[in-house]
Amino acid sequence: MLKINDINVFYGAIHAIKGASLEVNEGEIVTLIGANGAGKSTILRTISGLLKPKGGSIEFEGRDIAGLPAHEIVKCGISQVPEGRRIFAEMTVLENLELGAFTRKDKDGIKEDMEMVFNRFPRLKERISQLAGTLSGGEQQMLAMGRALMSRPRLLLLDEPSMGLAPLLIKEIFAIIQDINKAGTTVLLVEQNANMALSIAHRAYVLETGRITLSGDAKELAASEDVRKAYLGG
């Protein structure tokens, strides 16, 4: 579904991603793990059109999307839940969700998806007219996920969904990610909590200072001594 081939990404003179290649097949949860500053978020931001790669290609369902503007990439069927949630604090829960569907014109489909989001996140329905900035961290994460789902993506990019959340909420969020995947959405997950990420992913890539150094079956990587020492606390 997604094929990234030999991309290089720069922030000014800083070479952040160095010849990275990875694939995500339809129906999978693929996770990208690595230390802080390894370039995980940079890869997601490049896929979703917020950064432009220098060289290499990014193919989604056979189409090269590298360099397309972000709103066009949403129209292609890719949606991102950004790191730090980035909800619109001064808008209500409902307005945030409506903005998630900004590329769509199918009113009936939007209504249907709004119901789906409320079924998946009942707390959002209870707070439908509340300002998003007044929600708890966990509720804001649910809103960011709900907003991304409103574009009806075929590929969902998740950037650090567990950041700043209590352990119980992290379990809940990861269970929801699995549900979203089982309902037919392919997931590319960037996550600092490597244990949790590897426990739900089918495959994984390890990123070190902008280079992909390991890839394979998530369970095999979770059992690897090198990965355990570096990312799983021994």
Domains and CATH numbers, the chain: 1-77+156-234 (3.40.50.300), 79-152 (no CATH)
Segment 90-97 mean pLDDT:
96
The SS3 assignment for 221 reads helix
Confidence of residue 234 (pLDDT cuts 50, 70, 90): low
**Torsion angle in degrees (nearest 10) through CA of 92, 176, 173, 167:** 140
pLDDT confidence of residue 135:
95
Confidence of residue 92 (pLDDT cuts 50, 70, 90): very high
Q: Percent of the chain beyond pLDDT 70?
A: 99
Closest alpha carbon to 206 in 8, 27, 25, 30: 30
Segment 150-159 mean pLDDT:
97
CB 38 within 8 A of CB 8: no
Rounded to an integer, what distance in angstroms lies between the CA atom of residue 181 and that of residue 164? 23
For 162-210, how does the pLDDT look when each residue is reduced to its tens digit (9 = 90+)? 998 889 989 999 999 999 999 999 999 999 899 999 999 999 999 999 9
Tokens of 21: 């290649």
Closest alpha carbon to 208 in 81, 66, 19, 28: 19
Segment 39-65 mean pLDDT:
96
Rounded to an integer, what distance in angstroms lies between the CA atom of residue 31 and that of residue 163? 15
pLDDT of 7 higher than 90: yes
Segment 140-156 mean pLDDT:
96
CB burial of residue 115 (10 Å; 0-12, 13-18, 19+): exposed
Rounded to an integer, what distance in angstroms lies between the CA atom of residue 21 and that of residue 16? 14
